[in-house]
């Protein structure tokens, strides 16, 4: 679910729950918590009585709520008014803004990824950038929703972002012209050799249906002779859990897709194939799924399901590692908590939290001239403060192994450009399908 019309506050799998207002749960507060609530109320009283300026109750209450949520994990948040409406309406598919997915880290706004083709991407904003100023005004320490609100504006207007990028000595400015972001959650094209390419940019409404329609269109374009499929989930920061399940179901005959498990066992949910679509719409067609460090949340659910069910070969780079589920819990008519309530698990029982999805074949993006620098500076869920810990997740050595040079991939960006190859990962996936065809699954790791 996308979390703002200008930028998405986080890139999450979000399960919107129809729960009663949180105030109804206050009566169930453990009596042992009373002294702690006493401290909170005493602090409130002292601020109201002697703080240098008068403080509105709304400021104090909202600050207390935000403080509690900030102590939990980087994905829980308090939403009200326009921020809540943006979350609820973003799924519709278009908005005016920059096209960024961001999060908050140590008081700073950090870019998860720019959307493909967005004004931010065209202006040169990259994953891992820190935005420190807007039009010269410092936003460090500001609430994420407030920073997002300041970045909003009508299409055609400019905003100057001051960016700190690891590997550069000084911050620099980037001017971005806001635009109407027409979300194209799914795009597709037929490649040489009868190979279909379906790119999923967003897990917004009806993504499963759009991919099914794309597959049918590709079959018609190929005169029924489709020989393979590349499902591109790179730089896809996630979205709707239901749509991740629907997309996975599209390519599976049976078996589990994903499970979400939290502290309350009766609310654990197991999602299986054939709940949305009947049978494998690709009819056994060999599939390669492309992922990278920008593939998070819903993207990881799909990649994990197709990998564990041995339905697709996963190729590219280790994914982001965002393995938690957020539930939208209403507080009042115009406010709600977005609260982390569960972890999700791939069919094999593994959690992708911190570790992400490891590809069956690790393929670096050789066509990127800044690849080596970006690999050293790449960041994941495990880099966020107060992230949920997964004891079984990969260690630093595993990431180092990911970045070791594979002798098969020794070409330089310049050499690839001379051959007309703009996207090495995609080119490698297409060539693999053309060369191996139906034997592609034999290349999957045990």
Residue 371: pLDDT above 70?
no
Residue 160 — very low, low, confident or very high, per pLDDT cuts 50/70/90? Answer: very high
Q: Both tokens of residue 287?
A: 């599939």
Relative orientation angle of helices 81-89 and 144-151, to the nearest 10 degrees: 70
CATH of domain 94-182: 2.30.42.10
Please tell me the distance from the alpha carbon of residue 111 to that of residue 166, in angstroms, as a whole number.
12
Has domain 186-324+337-443 been given CATH number 3.30.300.130?
no
Is the Cβ–Cβ distance between 255 and 347 less than 8 Å? yes
Residue 8: pLDDT above 60?
no
Residue 373: pLDDT above 80?
no
Q: What does the DSSP 8-state code read for residue 240?
A: B
Q: Both tokens of residue 282?
A: 């690709």
Res 413: pLDDT: 83
How deeply is 135 buried, as exposed, middle or buried, from its count of CB atoms within 10 A (0-12, 13-18, 19+)? middle
Q: Tell me the Cα Rg of the chain.
A: 23
Res 238: pLDDT: 85
Rounded (5°) CA angle 1-248-346 = 85
Residue 274: pLDDT above 90?
no
Res 145: pLDDT: 75
What's CA 128's distance to the chain center, in Å? 13
Residue 21: pLDDT above 50?
no
What's CA 76's distance to the chain center, in Å? 15
Res 409: pLDDT: 79
Residue 20 — very low, low, confident or very high, per pLDDT cuts 50/70/90? Answer: very low
Average pLDDT along the chain? 82
For range 396-406, the mean pLDDT: 58
Is the Cβ–Cβ distance between 203 and 238 less than 8 Å? yes
Is the Cβ–Cβ distance between 4 and 83 less than 8 Å? yes
Number of CB atoms found within 10 A of residue 142's CB = 18
Q: Both tokens of residue 126?
A: 């990259």
For range 22-40, the mean pLDDT: 62
* Pairing label, strands 100-105, 108-114: antiparallel
Please tell me the distance from the alpha carbon of residue 378 to that of residue 361, in angstroms, as a whole number.
19
* Residues noted as catalytic: 297, 308, 322
Domain residue ranges of the chain, discontinuous segments joined by +: 94-182, 186-324+337-443
Least-confidence region, from 219-228, 367-376, 390-399: 390-399
Please tell me the distance from the alpha carbon of residue 255 to that of residue 397, in angstroms, as a whole number.
33
Q: Which ranges of 345-423 does DSSP label H, i.e. alpha helix? A: 371-377, 396-402, 413-418
DSSP H or E segment with residue 343: strand 335-345
pLDDT in tens, 103-144: 788 788 988 778 777 899 889 998 889 999 999 999 988 878
Res 374: pLDDT: 56
Relative orientation angle of helices 207-221 and 241-250, to the nearest 10 degrees: 30
pLDDT in tens, 169-183: 899 999 999 987 766
């Amino acid at each position: 679910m996308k979390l703002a019309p200008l930028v998405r506050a986080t890139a999450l799998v979000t399960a919107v729950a129809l729960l009663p207002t949180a105030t109804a749960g206050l009566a169930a507060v453990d009596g042992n918590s009373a002294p702690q609530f006493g401290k909170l109320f005493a602090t409130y009283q002292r601020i109201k009585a002697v703080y240098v300026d008068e403080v509105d109750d709304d400021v104090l209450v909202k600050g207390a709520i935000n403080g509690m949520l900030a102590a939990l994990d980087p994905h829980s948040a308090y939403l009200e008014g326009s921020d809540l409406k943006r979350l609820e309406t973003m799924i519709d598919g278009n908005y005016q803004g920059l096209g960024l997915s961001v999060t908050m880290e140590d008081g700073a706004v950090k870019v998860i990824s720019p959307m493909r083709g967005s004004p931010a991407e065209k202006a040169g904003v990259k994953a891992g950038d820190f935005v420190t100023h807007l039009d010269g005004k410092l936003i460090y320490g500001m609430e994420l929703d407030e920073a997002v609100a300041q970045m909003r504006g009508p299409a055609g207007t400019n905003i100057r972002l001051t960016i700190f990028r690891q590997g550069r000595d000084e911050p620099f400015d980037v001017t971005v012209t806001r635009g109407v972001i027409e979300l194209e959650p799914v795009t597709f094209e037929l490649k040489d050799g009868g190979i279909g390419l379906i790119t999923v940019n967003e897990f917004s409404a009806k993504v499963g249906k759009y991919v099914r329609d794309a597959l049918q269109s590709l079959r018609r374009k190929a005169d029924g002779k489709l020989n393979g499929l590349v499902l591109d989930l790179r730089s896809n920061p996630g979205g709707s859990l239901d749509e991740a399940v629907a997309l996975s179901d599209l390519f599976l005959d049976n078996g589990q897709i994903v499970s979400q498990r939290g502290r309350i066992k009766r609310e654990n949910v197991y999602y299986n194939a054939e709940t949305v679509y009947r049978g494998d719409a690709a009819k056994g067609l060999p599939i390669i799924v492309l992922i990278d460090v920008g593939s998070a949340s819903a993207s990881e659910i799909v990649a994990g399901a197709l990998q564990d069910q041995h339905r697709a070969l996963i190729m590219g780079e280790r994914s982001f590692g965002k393995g938690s589920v957020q539930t939208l819990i209403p507080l009042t008519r115009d406010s709600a908590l977005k609260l982390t309530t569960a972890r999700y698990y791939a069919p094999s029982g593994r959690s992708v939290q911190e570790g992400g999805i490891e590809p069956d074949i690790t393929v670096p993006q050789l066509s990127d001239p800044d690849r080596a620098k970006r690999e050293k500076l790449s960041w994941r869920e495990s880099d966020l403060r107060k992230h949920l810990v997964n004891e079984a997740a990969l260690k630093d050595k595993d990431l180092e192994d990911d970045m070791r040079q594979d002798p098969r991939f020794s070409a330089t960006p310049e050499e690839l450009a001379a051959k007309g190859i703009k996207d090495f990962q995609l080119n490698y996936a297409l060539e693999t399908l053309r060369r191996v065809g139906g034997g592609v699954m034999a290349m999957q790791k045990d």
